[in-house]
Amino acid sequence: MGKEKRRRTTAFITFGHHYLYLSLPFMNQPVFSVDRLRNFTLAVFEKIGCPADHALLATTVLMEADIRGIDSHGLARLSGYVRLWEAGRINTKPQITIVHETRSTAVVDGDGGLGLVIAPYAMDVAIEKARQCGSGWVAVRNSNHFGIAAYHAMKALQHDMIGWAMTNASPLVAPTFSVERLLGTNPIAVAIPAGKEQPFVLDMATTTAANGKLEILQRLGKQAPLGWIQTKDGKPSTNPFELKEGGALLPLGSDYEHGSHKGYGLGALVDILSAVLSGANYGPWVPPFVAFLQPPANPVGLGIGHFLGAMRIDAFRPAEEFKQHMDNWLKRFRSAKPIDGQERVLVPGDVESEIARQRRTEGIPMNPVVLEDLQQLAQKLNVPAIR
Amino acid sequence: MGKEKRRRTTAFITFGHHYLYLSLPFMNQPVFSVDRLRNFTLAVFEKIGCPADHALLATTVLMEADIRGIDSHGLARLSGYVRLWEAGRINTKPQITIVHETRSTAVVDGDGGLGLVIAPYAMDVAIEKARQCGSGWVAVRNSNHFGIAAYHAMKALQHDMIGWAMTNASPLVAPTFSVERLLGTNPIAVAIPAGKEQPFVLDMATTTAANGKLEILQRLGKQAPLGWIQTKDGKPSTNPFELKEGGALLPLGSDYEHGSHKGYGLGALVDILSAVLSGANYGPWVPPFVAFLQPPANPVGLGIGHFLGAMRIDAFRPAEEFKQHMDNWLKRFRSAKPIDGQERVLVPGDVESEIARQRRTEGIPMNPVVLEDLQQLAQKLNVPAIR
């Protein structure tokens, strides 16, 4: 019961050798049940002053990252949220309000609360508007990091709606031809319901590789591929620590010849919808997630921004008809002929849903560094340690 | 007056050496005024049976591609549309109808007409819905190629709205790990209004490089960079003729290590919104643009599909306030410190608006192969040649 399990996590290996390097870091890590980690996380959020319902929601959203295998966005960030709260930069008792709305749109002010709580509130507003008039779009200001975008987009699925979620983030990405870091990894998530098939769930940073992948390479002592990062002078780099030296992540596409201006354009779009439309900080003014860096002295808005949306399927065509065609679409792509050496062709979300199925029953492998960080957090906040 | 001008077109050269290779093909090409080309195009569309208002609209949309420097999507395609009409695959007298709608959504059936005419109609529906309830989203079925996506998205700008346009297209793109071509170059365009600054206009194929760039390399007798195309077995290729051998374009990101699953995910998203939501053909069932290839025998919908949207700025925050911040955003990005050797950092749409400014006054350089094709078209249809 109180004993750690050690096992190899093989979730990725079945998807072909490209995924193998992602599975390596999970090998021989201690594994904990979802329930045990949930109880710990809940205790932490309650301890820093979240009302019970907010603490439960924040826990659910945060843990969904670990469950879906996006380990960089889950418990690995918990102590970061706590440090922001200690620095007075997260309000654990926010009054979340709609500051402006039309029948199909709204702006929500998160009152400086946890994005983990604000974004689900805003997504509920979008879903309700979609129910009423076909679609609903909510721009959010005065928020903080909202966990994985997919969680919010996927809320729409149970309502037979297509869900959208985007957020801006601390500036770590250089636009094409720029040495300056002006954008975050600014993800786009879209979840589309299906019938019998697993749904389509796209959740992508608009960079070639997100920061979490660099952290994996740092722990493994490996170099990054060319095309992920540049030095502070804008030169190609393979050093996974380059960001600490003033370097930058590269937009999806890596360089101009391979379309980095498109990845940059998408990241910029996310920034504008999330923050210029809502009244949050944008571009280089986005406050950093890490508490040891101060927010810019001359903010152009409030907190960070999100953009959430819902579109009712039957506002376009009957939901059953759509789902039959969506199943046909998904089956056709999943059964496409793979390149020699690849096991199969995947649809966005397939890897994550496979991992989630496994982890919900078999538990979540925890990186020892993250685990040690959480145990120190337990001690600091005087909540029971994970065991 | 009737004389061709020959000059070097230098529009791109000022943007740094990366753009230079794009400008090369325009050198020493005959240049024609916008008016002259417009009169010719109008005559062609009228000759194949378009009502006067449709012919004018189709001309305006098609020519906007040449004006903005997207030469692959303009007059270069005119004889392709005519061949589709000859094959009975374009209805030049369509009854465009709304087949289903809610307050913020609609599905439009294009009756097999020109996408150049159907998409503006659908965009007007989206804009009217946005006026009424904040946002409007229109999925289109039973259409054909709609020219450049940016034209449709930019219609929203004059209404202080953000415009969206997407379309699916003939399957030329292989998903990550697939040898099969299942997606088109499926572009995404988003146009965002500004105050005094030039607006933000993203218009991107969801591939690393679109077909038009391969055609340029074919004419120049040059190899493509690695990461644009694969052979019919899914191996890397630099042969710009590879698509004729059964090869495929690669999604934005080029390979899995550089995020091609993201470009594939975006292309898939465009396909689903444009076609599964509207009732058009999707994936490998999308009918080819070229008349010499037959559409698949077992269609899953009607024609090709588009997805268009409009969001009213003041459905989120006062338009003037938004535009001030948007100007601030644009100025900050346009003045970012460039990498050594690059002149400046660009915002999506900057290159195209610069070319448009030049071409509207100085004329449009025509590729000799395209020009010859148009002269033959003139002869075939018995309309006055371009001179």
Nearest to B184 by CA among B274, B78, B72: B274
- One domain, residues B188 and B224: no
- One domain, residues B188 and B200: yes
In a domain, B255, yes or no: no
- One domain, residues B164 and B286: yes
Q: Is B276 on the interface with A (CB under 8 A)?
A: yes
Taking CB atoms and an 8 Å cutoff, what residues of chain A touch B20?
Answer: none
- Residues B189 and B203: beta-carbon distance below 8 Å: yes
Residue by residue, DSSP assigns B159-185 as GTEEEEEEE---S-BPPTTBSS--B--
The answer to whether B315 contacts A105, with C-beta atoms less than 8 Å apart, is yes
Helix (H) or strand (E) holding A306: strand A304-312
Tell me which of B190, B220, B249 is where a domain ends: B249
Banded pLDDT at A387 (limits 50, 70, 90): confident
Taking CB atoms and an 8 Å cutoff, what residues of chain B touch A307?
Answer: none
- One domain, residues A192 and A71: no
CATH of the domain at A328: 3.30.1370.60
What integer pLDDT is reported at residue B177 of this predicted model? 98
Q: Would you tell me which residues 326-385 of chain B have a C-beta closer than 8 angstroms to some C-beta of chain A?
A: 326, 328-329, 332-333, 336-340, 342, 344-348
| pLDDT digits 0-9 by tens, A305-350 | 999 999 999 999 999 999 999 999 999 999 999 999 999 999 999 9
- One domain, residues B286 and B234: no
| Distance separating alpha carbons of residues A159 and A162, to the nearest angstrom | 9
Q: Is the pLDDT of residue B378 over 70?
A: yes
In a domain, A58, yes or no: yes
| pLDDT digits 0-9 by tens, B319-364 | 999 999 999 999 999 999 999 999 999 999 999 999 999 999 999 9
In a domain, B266, yes or no: yes
What integer pLDDT is reported at residue B19 of this predicted model? 42
| pLDDT digits 0-9 by tens, B85-119 | 999 999 999 999 999 999 999 999 999 999 999 99
- One domain, residues A59 and A47: yes
| Distance separating alpha carbons of residues A297 and B203, to the nearest angstrom | 34
Q: Is the pLDDT of residue A363 over 50?
A: yes
Banded pLDDT at B22 (limits 50, 70, 90): very low
Taking CB atoms and an 8 Å cutoff, what residues of chain A touch B209?
Answer: 258-259
Q: Is the pLDDT of residue A193 over 50?
A: yes
Cβ partners under 8 Å of residue B288, min gap 6? B170, B294, B295
Q: Would you tell me which residues 104-133 of chain B have a C-beta closer than 8 angstroms to some C-beta of chain A?
A: 104-105, 107, 132-133
The mean per-residue pLDDT over the stretch A263-287 comes to: 98
CA distance A243 to chain B (A): 16
Q: Mean pLDDT, chain B, as a whole number?
A: 93
| Distance separating alpha carbons of residues B239 and B218, to the nearest angstrom | 9
The answer to whether B272 contacts A182, with C-beta atoms less than 8 Å apart, is no
Give the range of the structural domain holding residue A79, as residue numbers without chain letter: 1-93+350-387
The answer to whether A269 contacts B300, with C-beta atoms less than 8 Å apart, is no
In a domain, A225, yes or no: no
Nearest to A305 by CA among A121, A112, A163: A112
Q: Is B212 on the interface with A (CB under 8 A)?
A: no
- One domain, residues A64 and A8: yes
Q: Is the pLDDT of residue A253 over 50?
A: yes
Taking CB atoms and an 8 Å cutoff, what residues of chain A touch B259?
Answer: 204, 207-209, 252-253, 263
- One domain, residues A26 and A81: yes
In a domain, A54, yes or no: yes
| pLDDT digits 0-9 by tens, B37-68 | 999 999 999 999 999 999 999 999 999 999 99
Bridge partners, A273 (sequence order)? none
In a domain, A306, yes or no: yes
- One domain, residues A326 and A180: yes
CA quadruple A145, A147, A150, A155: dihedral positive or negative?
A: negative
- One domain, residues A332 and A366: no
| pLDDT digits 0-9 by tens, A292-311 | 999 999 999 999 999 999 99
Q: Is B204 on the interface with A (CB under 8 A)?
A: yes
Q: Is the pLDDT of residue A142 over 60?
A: yes
What integer pLDDT is reported at residue A27 of this predicted model? 65
Long-range contacts of B108-112 (CB under 8 A, 24+ apart): B108/B138, B108/B139, B108/B140, B108/B141, B108/B278, B109/B140, B109/B141, B109/B142, B109/B302, B110/B140, B110/B141, B110/B142, B110/B143, B110/B144, B110/B303, B111/B142, B112/B142, B112/B143, B112/B144, B112/B302, B112/B303
Q: How many domains does chain A have?
A: 2
- One domain, residues A66 and A122: no
| Distance separating alpha carbons of residues A305 and A328, to the nearest angstrom | 36
Q: Is the pLDDT of residue B81 over 80?
A: yes
Of B209, B284, B316, the CB nearest to A259: B209
Hey, of B157, B185, B258, B313, which one would you mutate to test binding to chain A, going by the most A CBs within 10 A of its CB? B258
In a domain, A237, yes or no: no
In a domain, B107, yes or no: yes
Residue with structure tokens 């004389």? B3
CATH of the domain at A26: 1.10.1530.10
- One domain, residues A170 and A282: yes
CA distance B166 to chain A (A): 14
**A78-95 residues labelled b (16+ CB within 10 A) or e (exposed):** bbebbbbbeeebbbbebe
Provide the 3-class DSSP secondary structure of residue B299: coil
Banded pLDDT at A13 (limits 50, 70, 90): very low
